[in-house]
Structure 1
Amino acid sequence: MNGEVEDGRGKTVQALDLATNYHDMGDGFPVVLLHGSGPGVSAWTNWKRVMPALADSFRVIAPDLAGFGYTERNPELHYDIKLWSKHLIAILDALGLEKVNLVGNSFGGSLSLAAAARFPERFNRIVLMGTPCDKFTMTPGLRAGWNYTPSRENMREAMQHFPFDPACITDELVEDRYQASLIPGAQEGLRKLLVKPNDEGETPLSGMPVAVVGNVVHPTLVLHGREDMVIPVEMGILLARSMPNAELHMFGRCGHWVQAERFDAFIRLAKAHFGAAA
């Protein structure tokens, strides 16, 4: 991939005063892939199989967002959705991209919605996967991510919550995400994204409010696994009901990793959704 090495280091662009790691493949209308959260997450671990599959039709850009992967960390920054939205726009500006399509996975889906609501003119079409909406309670999968401490065994255990079929958790994937979790500041960044779980009882969480997503008018494809144990499928249904130009595709026997568990269908659906705009 353009000389990139297998640890996930790609190119670097200065955005929001951060040396931002990103991957860039293909030609055509730009598609920006926004990774999720979780132990060892990065653009590379989230999208390394997807990028070349989309790059035959589009220019595909996948950044490590502030606090994640190999992007520079600034301990003085306060991580919140406003900062991540500004970082995303700064990346687009630095790369000279006036308007892009978005694919957002989980946390990346929340960021897609926040950015599209605040900067609607910068985005064309959106694909959301496993994206939270409005209020819900912390799931065991999110709790496991917050509690993770780096080891291969702990990584494999934490990842058990993500797919429907545990066969998706390959040794290669465990190693990729374990190595990414060793990047200095990686787990601290994740814990700034999620609230600390309550010792007893439920831990309330909030995705993007219905009042916000209801104003996102971009044509949107909502993808969700029926057996998602990280972000309940009811969140995807609520998104599709709340957004004026959304369509929902629910995958049976599928967990939180639609792009991995239903790879061929995901690529086909994303290309079809973006094709009319390309």
Structure 2
Amino acid sequence: MASVMDAETNNPEISKSVLAGGLLTNYHDDGEGHPVVFIHGSGPGVSAWANWRLVLPKISRQARAIALDMVGFGFTERPANFSYNVEAWVKHLVDFLDALELDKVDLVGNSFGGAISLAAAVRHPDRVRRLVLMGSGGVRGPMTEGLDEVWGYTPSLANMRRMLDIFAYNRELVTDELAQIRYEASIRPGFQESYSQMFPAPRQRWFDSLACSEADLCRLPHQTLIIHGREDRVVRVEDAYRLETLIRRAQLHVFGECGHWTQIEHADRFAQLVCNFVAEGAANEPLPLS
């Protein structure tokens, strides 16, 4: 197995570690109360910290905020010849919950992470209390040209700048410094090697493979908060409307002047929505039997 856990020191992306199904898993864990588990997207060089760094401190004031690097991403172990697919990612997530002795959690998933959250809720409904889906995959439909470019990324500073242009509506967020940081992240040992294995062309098949059936989505019993950027070029806003139609206990919030980075472009408002939703779940929890 190849590990990058010890590749750097004083890196805020690296925090705690736990063996989850035999995989040494990097994760962040702060705050107290009901556990809220954050699952990142699938952009090149992504990690849990890169994805959620602006909102974890806000949400950890109210709940136990946990964000892990999924297998194949960030600073979690990358097994040789690993088969990356939705079943493997769901298994890693459930193994992680077991390792932390978490019986039931709220899941917050971004894009790819939303698809994994939905798949986990379908397969293990008793392990999930509430769902938050942000710019989420998980429903069948045509993939965007933007996502095809993201999954087809080959490392260069110019290509990373192009990726950030696709992700963000607000171009002021796409600085040369950010592009340099994300580019350097994408070329860390093992990062691009595992990334290039996940979604080879033609890529529509991988987008479809992450989707749940409409029948399964209709049967989901969970309260679900769907958040999407109106100008998202990675996952269509139409997919969010479709999810809201299929999931019977869903609510949808669409942010104008926002791309695929709601948690970055509108960090305060995103965090407030999630905090309110989590708190509502806690208020409606049945009292334990005496």
Both structures adopt the same fold (TM-score exceeding 0.5): yes
Aligned to 1:235: 239
* Rounded Cα–Cα distance in structure 2 between residues aligned with 1:173 and 1:212: 39
TM-score (norm 1): 0.92
Q: Percent identity?
A: 46
Contact 1:152 1:175 in 2 (8 A): yes
- The aligned amino acid for 2:54 is R
Give the counterpart letter for 2:269 in structure 1: A
Counterparts of 1:261 and 1:71 in 2: how far apart (Å)?
Answer: 27
Aligned partner of 1:42 among 44, 47, 59: 47
Aligned-partner Cα distance in 1 for 2:33–2:252: 26
Return the letter of the residue paired with 1:32.
Answer: V
Tell me the distance in 2 between the aligned counterparts of 1:117 and 1:141: 27
* Aligned alpha-carbon RMSD (Å): 1.7
The letter of the residue matching 1:245 is R
Match of 2:3 in 1: none
Structure 1 residues 256-265 or 107-116, which shifts more? Answer: 256-265
Paired residue for 2:160, among 149, 155, 170?
A: 155
3-state SS in 2 of match to 1:121: helix
What's the offset of the Cα at 1:263?
1.2
Q: Secondary structure at the match of 1:268?
A: helix
Match of 2:180 among 156, 175, 180: 175
Provide the residue aligned with 2:250 in structure 1: 246
Alpha-carbon distance between aligned partners in 2 of 1:64 and 1:260, rounded to the nearest angstrom: 18
Counterpart for residue 95 of structure 2? 90
Could you tell me which residue of structure 1 aligns to residue 131 of structure 2? Answer: 126
CA 194–209 in structure 1, closer or farther in 2 if over 3 Å, else same: farther
- Matched with 2:70 is 65
Paired residue type of 2:244: A
2:193 paired residue number: 188
Q: Is the 8 A contact 1:225 1:253 kept in 2?
A: yes
Could you report, residue by residue, the CA deviation over 1:211-240 in whole angstroms, capped at 9, with x for unpaired residues? 222222110000011111100000000000
- Separation in 1 of the partners of 2:271 and 2:117? 19
Moved over 6 A (4+): none
2:222: which partner in 1? 218
Q: 2:118 aligns with which of 113, 118, 122?
A: 113
| Correspondence for 1:54 among 23, 46, 59 | 59
Cα deviation, 1:155-201, whole Å, max 9, x if unaligned, reads 11121111112112234432332232123332233334324147xxx
What CA distance in whole angstroms lies between the structure 2 residues aligned with 1:171 and 1:95? 38
TM-score under structure 2 length normalisation: 0.88
Query: 1:62-98: CA deviations, max 9, x gaps?
Result: 0000100110111232111111111001111111111
- Asked if 2 retains the 8 angstrom alpha-carbon contact of 1:221 and 1:246, the reply is yes
> Are 2:269 and 1:269 equivalent residues in the alignment?
no
Helix, strand or coil for the counterpart of 2:281?
coil
Q: Kindly indicate whether the alpha-carbon contact (under 8 Å) linking 2:55 and 2:268 is maintained by their aligned counterparts in 1.
A: no
Structure 2: how far apart are the matches of 1:57 and 1:174? 32
Counterpart selection for 2:144 from 139, 146, 156: 139
Tell me which amino acid in the other structure corresponds to 1:214.
C
The 1:191–1:136 alpha-carbon spacing in structure 2 relative to 1, beyond 3 Å, is farther
Q: Distance in 2 between matches of 1:172 and 1:127?
A: 30
> Does 2:212 align with 1:208?
yes
Partner of 1:80: 85
- Compared with structure 1, are the counterparts of its residues 230 and 172 closer, same or farther at alpha carbon in structure 2 (3 Å cutoff)? same
Match of 2:286 in 1: none
Give unmatched runs, 5+ long, in structure 2: 1-8, 283-290
Letter in 1 for 2:24: A
CA distance in 2 between partners of 1:190 and 1:234 (Å): 27
Alignment partners' CA distance in 1, 2:238 and 2:138: 9
Which among 4, 22, 30 is matched to residue 25 of structure 1?
Answer: 30
Name stretches of at least 5 consecutive residues in structure 1 with no aligned partner: none
| 8 Å CA contact retained: 2:106, 2:129 | yes
